[in-house]
Amino acid sequence: MRECSRLSRRAVLGLTAAALPLSATTPASAATVIGGEQLARTGVQVRGASGLPGKLTARSWLIADCESGEVLASFNAHRRLPPASTLKMLFADTLLKKFDRTERYTVKDSDVADVPLGSSLVGIKPGLTYTVEQLWQGVFLRSGNDAVHVLAHMNGGIAGTVAEMQAKAEDLQALDTHVVSPDGFDHPGQISSAYDLTLFARHGLKDADFRGYCGTRTANFPAGGKKTFQIQNTDRLLTGAWGLRTYDGLIGVKNGYTSHAGNTFTGAATRGGRTLLVTVMHPATGSNAVYEQTAALLDWGFGHGRSAQAVGTLVDPLSEGGAKASPAPAKTAAQAAAGAADSGSGGPSTGRLVEGAGGTTLLLAAAGALVVRRRRRAAAAAAMAETAAMADAAEEAETSEGSAEPGGRHRR
CA angle 269, 275, 277 (to 5 degrees): 65
Which carries the bigger pLDDT value, residue 9 or residue 170? 170
pLDDT of residue 80: 96
For the cut 70, the answer to whether the pLDDT of residue 264 exceeds it is yes
Whether 85 is catalytic is yes
pLDDT digits (tens, 9 = 90+) for 289-298: 999 999 999 9
For the cut 70, the answer to whether the pLDDT of residue 209 exceeds it is yes
For the cut 90, the answer to whether the pLDDT of residue 341 exceeds it is no
Under the banding of pLDDT at 50, 70 and 90, the label for residue 324 is: confident
Catalytic residue among 143, 181, 193, 259: 143
Whether 143 is catalytic is yes
Produce one character per residue of 351-385: b if its CB has 16 or more CB atoms within 10 Å, e if not.
Answer: eeeeeeeeeeeebeeeeeeeeeebbeebbeeebbe
pLDDT of residue 32: 57
For the cut 60, the answer to whether the pLDDT of residue 221 exceeds it is yes
CA distances to 125, 257, 358, 410 from 148, in Å: 13, 16, 60, 14
Count Cβ atoms below 10 Å from residue 140 Cβ, excluding itself.
Answer: 29
pLDDT digits (tens, 9 = 90+) for 93-132: 999 999 999 999 999 999 999 999 999 999 999 999 999 9
Q: For all residues of the chain together, what is the average pLDDT?
A: 79
Please choose, from the candidates 151, 83, 158, 156, the residue with its C-alpha nearest in 3D space to the C-alpha of residue 114: 158
Catalytic residue among 5, 88, 168, 193: 88
Whether 254 is catalytic is no
